Amino acid sequence: MAKYMLIMRTTDEGMKEFENTDFNEMLETMGRFNEELMRAGVLLAAEGLDDPAESVVVDFSSETPVVTDGPYGETKELFGGYYILDVASKEEAVEWAKRLPYSKGTKVEIRRVPSIDEFPQDNEWVFRERAWREQTGQL
């Protein structure tokens, strides 16, 4: 099994369509999809993000970091939520992504999340993080 992150990016068209969706209907539809993921035993995390207009950006493109109010970039560059799935393959992650509700005007980027086991185990910082993960029940 491997972890994959599904990152939802939307377009202006997708944002407009979503704005016209009844909130309770959205909760019901997303809840049913999330329940499928839970029943399948592949859901590790899922979160939607607040309005990009409420974000803050820390930009490191100059010597001193510059903090500005969001949003940063164009709508298509922003992401509105994510899932982390524990699945057997990238192909399985793709199949789950293809079933996402409210996906019109959305692109889903799928990226594998490397395991701590893939990093040098003799590195002090990897060792410390592994210990922390074990203490907090993450391993």
pLDDT digits (tens, 9 = 90+) for 87-114: 999 999 999 999 998 777 788 899 999 9
Percentage of residues in the chain with pLDDT exceeding 70? 95
Question: Token digits for 108?
Answer: 């889903």
CB contact set of 63 (below 8 Å; sequence gap of 6+): none
Percentage of residues in the chain with pLDDT exceeding 90? 55
Contact 105, 11 (CB under 8 A): yes
pLDDT above 80: residue 76: no
Q: What is the pLDDT of residue 56?
A: 87
* Dist. CA 83–CA 21, nearest whole Å: 21
Inside any domain, residue 46 = yes
Domain that holds residue 120: 2-51+79-135
Q: What pTM value is reported for the model?
A: 0.81
Inside any domain, residue 120 = yes
* Dist. CA 130–CA 139, nearest whole Å: 8
Contact 126, 41 (CB under 8 A): no
How far from the centroid of its chain's Cα atoms is residue 55's Cα? 16
Reported as a pLDDT band with limits 50, 70 and 90, residue 18 is confident
Inside any domain, residue 71 = no
Count CB atoms within 10 A of the CB of residue 96: 21
Domain count, the chain: 1
CATH code of 39's domain = 3.30.70.1060
Inside any domain, residue 70 = no
pLDDT above 80: residue 75: no
Sequence letter at residue 122: D
What is the mean predicted confidence (pLDDT) over 73-82? 74
